[in-house]
Structure 1
Amino acid sequence: MILLACGEFKSKVLLGKNQAPRSRSATTTPVRSRSVTTTLVRSRTVSNDLPGYDSDLIAEQQIWAAVDPNARNEAFNCTNGDVFQWKHLRKVLAEQFEIENYGLEDGKCSERVRLEEIMKGKESVWEEIVRENQLQPTKLNEVAVWSYADTVMNIGAGYLVSMNKSKEHGFLGFRNSISSFVTWIGRLKSHKIVP
């Protein structure tokens, strides 16, 4: 939970189970972790049997909750506002990272994965990818919080967060999850974090 204070009142924006404090990077951890994982899939060092919210939206809602009197002393969920499953992201990742066969058949991927385990021993592969693509010099453990990514991606299809209370109090922000991922992947590429 993040507590915001402004003037004489306080508002809370509750970040759902899928939310983590922002890391050093300006992008969301799920986007970074999936982008880096997909890069390793493309390099053929990680198999593709793998199954977020937009940080701009979180910031937008936090600012609203801090300054709008309608949000006074209230707690709110924060989510993109659409129904999203990780399997819907597979085609987007394949397109964004130019991978022809990215296991797009439904039901062919594991429901539970542990990226923290999968990424062990891949440091040298990441270093080579960084060098070959002239990316920003980063270590594999710096580009994503793998344990958090595991939590986010293993929540399952039955987890939904309602934004109704936020809407009732005047916050109407939302993001299309697929479009958001494309935007953030583009930002990662433009900042030379992923190829």
Structure 2
Amino acid sequence: MTDAATNPTTATPPSDADESQVVLVAGAGGVIGRHVADEYLSRGTAVRGLSRRPVAGARWKHLAVDLLDRDAARTGLGSARDTTHLVFGAYIERPTTREQIEVNSALLVNALQGLEDGGAPLRHVTLYQGGKAYGAHLGYFNTPAKERDPRLIQPNFYYEQEDILRAAAARRGFDATMLRPEGVVGYAVGNPMNILMVIAVYASICRELGQPLRFPGTHAAYDALYQVTDASLLARATVWAGSEPRAAGEVYNITNGDQIRWRHLWPIFARHFQMDYAEPQPVLLSEAMPQHQDLWQQMVTKYDLVPTPYEDLAGWSFGDFLFRSGFDNVTSTIKARQHGFADCLDTEDRFLELFEELATARVIPPLA
């Protein structure tokens, strides 16, 4: 371990903690990275969280490193030279496929190179992918999608990153695992790419306006099968992958393990928010919801909510995309179960629990 100036913060180690692990979570400000860092910390593992901005409330040591700058990455990662496990959740959105590939490949290359230059004794890297690996962003794809399905001819930054990681792992002798969640739900301050927050803020505003809760997407999406991945479950899968020998070099779909139809859930959401329910009405959230920013600020004062910038609360365009995806989105989780990760959650129950957690934390108004 390094000296106290660079030693990552740790929780009190439980009896089964692996004290030889030092975990670096890249993208610790996102919903995935934040939950992974907290999960490792709860198990007594030494954790550092890497992001460009500090993460509010984090109990682990924060590294402010710009991974797009090769020199800055090399310098910044010098204080993480004892890293044994890299969890890579950093991501930058870009408008074109080519730009996505270039910028997100650079993030990974600079992170790996920076750790190598510092002499980090890297043993494992976890990389996150998603439904785009199967073409979920393009339209219909064969379901249930399996990890052995062939790649698409369409270029994809997931493919590029995986190839970069596998080549580095073969050269340097560490293991790598790729995890593919879908529709990750959980809360992290300032991370709006999250369908949980889209629904919670949309429902809260509709209730404040005295309107019923309506599904704002298409009828096709209302009836299609969908799935989500709870961020806490994904964090547990990450910890498992980092220490499971069978996970070395493998790709795993990680979801809650069930499928949903929005048709079944939205009336349940309405009852939970103590609202009337009405039939779906397609509305572009990205056009409608920014108009209610002033109302939300009034709600922050009225209900003593956490003062989060409105643009950081919910990704309305992300909601539009999901609520207009009129095809089944289902991936098989059999491989992960066969290899030893059998964790699962009831998605309906978990949504309601998360709504309660958001209200208790005063992120949204009280539900009662």
Same topology, TM > 0.5: yes
Farther-moved stretch of structure 1 (146-155 vs 54-63)? 146-155
Unaligned runs of 5+ in 2: 1-86, 89-123, 127-172, 218-227
Distance change in 2, residues 1:124/1:54 (3 Å):
same
Q: Which residue, 177, 187, 205 being the options, matches 1:11?
A: 177
Q: Deviations over 1:24-52 (max 9, x none)?
A: 36998211110110011112277734253
Q: Which residue, 170, 189, 194 being the options, matches 1:29?
A: 194
Match of 1:38 in 2: 203
Match of 2:216 in 1: 50
What is the root-mean-square deviation of aligned Cα atoms in Å?
2.8
What is the correspondence of 1:76-95 to structure 2 with a 5 Å cutoff?
76-95=252-271
**Residues of 2 paired with 1:65 and 1:30: CA distance?**
25
Partner secondary structure for residue 37 of structure 1:
helix
- Give the Å deviation of 1:187: 0.9
Q: Deviations over 1:54-93 (max 9, x none)?
A: 1111111111112111111101112111121122221232
**Residues of 2 paired with 1:119 and 1:113: CA distance?**
10
| 2:306 equivalent to 1:136 | yes
Give percent identity, aligned residues only: 24
Farther-moved stretch of structure 1 (165-174 vs 26-35)? 26-35
| Aligned residues of 2:256 and 2:346 also touching (Cα < 8 A) | yes
Aligned residue pairs, count: 187
Match of 1:60 in 2: 236
**Residues of 2 paired with 1:25 and 1:88: CA distance?**
29
| Aligned residues of 2:181 and 2:254 also touching (Cα < 8 A) | yes
Distance change in 2, residues 1:65/1:144 (3 Å):
same
| Aligned residues of 1:116 and 1:146 also touching (Cα < 8 A) | yes
| 2:351 equivalent to 1:181 | yes
Moved >3 Å (runs of 4+): 19-28
Structure with greater contact order relative to length (CA < 8 Å, sep ≥ 6): 1
Match of 2:280 in 1: 109
What is the correspondence of 1:158-169 to structure 2 with a 5 Å cutoff?
158-169=328-339
TM-score between both structures, scaled by the size of structure 1 = 0.83
Larger radius of gyration between Structure 1 and Structure 2: 2
Unaligned runs of 5+ in 1: none
Q: Please tell me the residue identity of whatever aligns with 1:66.
A: G
